[in-house]
Amino acid sequence: MALEQIKMPQLGESVTEGTIEKWLVKPGDHVNKYDALAEVNTDKVTAEVPSSFTGVIKELIANEGDTLAVGEIVCTIETEGGATEEVVESAPEQPTAETVKPAEVQKHTAPVNREKGAKARYSPAVLKLSQEHGIDLSLVSGTGNEGRITRKDLLKIIESGEIPVAAQAEPVVEQTQATPQAQVTAPPKAAPVNVPVSAGDIEIPVTGVRKAIAANMLRSKHEAPHAWTMIEVDVTNMVQYRDSIKNDFKQKEGFNVTYFAFFVKAVSQALKEFPMMNSMWAGDKIIQKKDINISIAVATEDALFVPVIKNADEKTIKGIAREVNELAAKVRSGKLKSDEMQGGTFTVNNTGSFGSVQSMGIINYPQAAILQVESIVKRPVIMDGGMIAARDMVNLCLSLDHRVLDGLVAGRFLARVKEILENITKENTSVY
């Protein structure tokens, strides 16, 4: 028999961790290759973790509610063939998350001993968490592979409130060669958030999805220098055209042709003409994406998802309307697949559906921009010749990553979107 490991998969291009929402198996269960093992939440999608092997579930390493970095072990499976069972049993026993208690870590007065020549290697998620909470990693016993410290180890310590910090005396220098990443001085522990709670207040637990959304939004705001600009567009002709065909379209196609489909089509056309808007920051370079894949924001009662319309520039208004309808239905029924959340290059958000007329969106990392389509409202407008008329007006609000985009290209892009929208008429536009 051989003992195989199932690790947290990467369920999106910018996804770095996932939360075990629900286990679908238990120790002793027999599973086939590709069977679903657990439901996992990220900031982008709820998906199932498939088995990579056929065998018997040996141990569930992660508990429901645990958040693990991509690549961390979630469970083990015993399979036939490979290493013998005796070899597995003779290996040194690794402590599990249950055997290592946060309170025990506090008892260390010197750095945890490592084998001679071993290097202190920490994942970016572990380093970041230790810095935020002032945890001295040299005093932490890891439960990961070969004793590595996992994000789950630190979360247990943080929850206990007993943070291991180095003694004030001259520290004992460990005779090992640490990697540059490990040589990070942890800042002082952040002050806890003390929120007064009164009688009648309701405490709402933060779900794994909400934690993941918060982490991704925080990363976007911290890493991308946001800039913002807005343009107003006269969409009177577009509104009249769409309203004139909506009933026949619904009867013929079985779904609605919404204003939003016209906006997505205009944006995808403009992105083709201004490809720099379809780019991403990659540290020492900027990646200008070939495909135009539009992410759309779809909200549920307690979460926000961003499914993707692939190759939107090649689709008709009808095709876009169908995909918007289908993706939104999948989000709200919990049937959205992970591959339907990946590959987005630019986000269009229909904030106008809530009556908003002006907003500043947070960029969908690692994309370079997000466009908020606000509510269409009738306003008096001075026309050519000085006449005042009631027109259907909409504000388009663009948030952009100033590392990638400058005001010039953003302004020209918005002007082109405006031009396309204002020239949509029954005579020169087809939804098919």
Which residues are marked as active site? 402, 406
- CA–CA distance, 39 with 47 (Å, rounded to integer): 6
CA dihedral 32, 33, 34, 35 (to 10 degrees): 20
Residue among 312, 324, 328 nearest 266 (CA) = 312
Q: If we measure between CA atoms, which residue out of 68, 66, 33, 38 comes closest to residue 51?
A: 33
Question: What CA–CA distance (Å, rounded) separates 245 from 397?
Answer: 28
Cα–Cα distance between 323 and 319 in angstroms, integer? 6
Q: Are the C-beta atoms of 50 and 36 separated by less than 8 Å?
A: yes
**Residue bearing tokens 């201004």:** 274
Q: Is the torsion defined by CA of 167, 171, 173, 179 positive or negative? A: positive
* Rounded Cα distance, 319 and 255, in Å: 11
Beta strand 369-373 pairing with 346-349: parallel
